[in-house]
Amino acid sequence: MRNIAALICAFVLLASTGRAEAPAPRVDKAAGAQTVTVFAAASLKNALDEAAAAFKAKTGIEAKLSYAASLPLAKQIEAGAPADLFISADVASMDYLSERKLIAPASRVDFLGNRLVVVAPKDSALQSLALTKAAFDKALGETGRIAMGEPASVPAGKYAKAAFEKLGFWSTLESRAAFADNVRGAMVFVARGEAPLGVVYATDAGAEPKVKVVATFPKDLHPPIVYPIALTVSATGDAPRRFLEFLESKEGTAAFVKQGFAPLR
């Protein structure tokens, strides 16, 4: 009997000791939520990558960044893509989501401005370009094409089309355009020497050493270039709001100013 009692005591002690040494793991829900998913216009890549790195170093929160043309990104959000924050290169793409009640209205602000320029390959003999049909015809030669974003979906392409329409020669230039899915794609054509001219943002030209600016469009030739920013209605947790506030701060906008963007706040 004494042996049985001793065994029972030992078992109870062992069981209780095992529970004390192996408590149930704690789950830190806040730590698991420290990411923010951002859908952003392709022209923002260099500056936004830098801003996101600075934010992570400061807060430990990672921003997962997805870049493309603005309207396709807006349609992805409409289709249910899990974006917390949207930064568009035009007002129309943000309005598209606003009309469908897919952004938080109180969070929307006009974030940045930009300029539209004509670029040529760095080694091109062309140094400057007049904004006339004759000058473009000469620069393009017989077979050259002008690279630009697709006007139906890429804001930079839409601005370019508006500018050339106002200049009076879009109807003839359109047939010589090489349309890209986003503005960075248009710049790649020029950087590789596949197109003698391209229309991009000034910030894109500044980020690519293989191109040079040969003309800048006056602002009155196209609608204002505005980058709105807003939280989506599906954004959850504290991270998206904190990243938005960081981007709007002086510290957050520093990376954009360095790339040539103009803060609008």
Shared domain for 215 and 259, answered yes or no, is no
Interval 192-247: pLDDT, tens: 999 999 999 999 999 999 999 999 999 999 999 999 999 999 999 999 999 999 99
pTM over 0.75: yes
Shared domain for 183 and 86, answered yes or no, is no
The predicted model gives 137-141 an average pLDDT of: 97
Structural domain that includes position 185:
116-221
Total domain count, the chain: 2
Shared domain for 124 and 105, answered yes or no, is no
Shared domain for 60 and 124, answered yes or no, is no
DSSP, residue by residue, 95-147: HHHHHTT-B-GGG-EEEEE--EEEEEETT-S-----SSHHHHHHHHTTT--EE
* Residue from 27, 50, 105, 11 nearest 247 by CA: 50
pLDDT band at 265 (very low <50, low <70, confident <90, very high): confident
Shared domain for 120 and 217, answered yes or no, is yes
Question: Does residue 24 lie in a domain region?
Answer: no
Spatial contact of 117 and 203, defined as CB atoms under 8 Å apart: no
Q: Is the pLDDT of residue 27 over 70?
A: no
Shared domain for 48 and 174, answered yes or no, is no
Q: Supply the CATH number for residue 66's domain.
A: 3.40.190.10
Spatial contact of 61 and 78, defined as CB atoms under 8 Å apart: no
Question: Does residue 122 lie in a domain region?
Answer: yes
Q: Is the pLDDT of residue 14 over 70?
A: no
Shared domain for 147 and 212, answered yes or no, is yes
As a whole number, the mean pLDDT across the chain is 90
pLDDT band at 12 (very low <50, low <70, confident <90, very high): very low
Shared domain for 141 and 186, answered yes or no, is yes
Secondary element (H or E) of residue 161: helix 155-167
Q: Is the pLDDT of residue 1 over 70?
A: no
The pLDDT of residue 56 is 96
Q: Is the pLDDT of residue 21 over 50?
A: no
Interval 160-191: pLDDT, tens: 999 999 999 999 999 999 999 999 999 999 99
Contacts of 117 (CB under 8 A, 6+ apart): 199, 200, 201, 202, 205, 213, 215, 216, 217
Secondary element (H or E) of residue 63: strand 62-68
Spatial contact of 107 and 262, defined as CB atoms under 8 Å apart: no
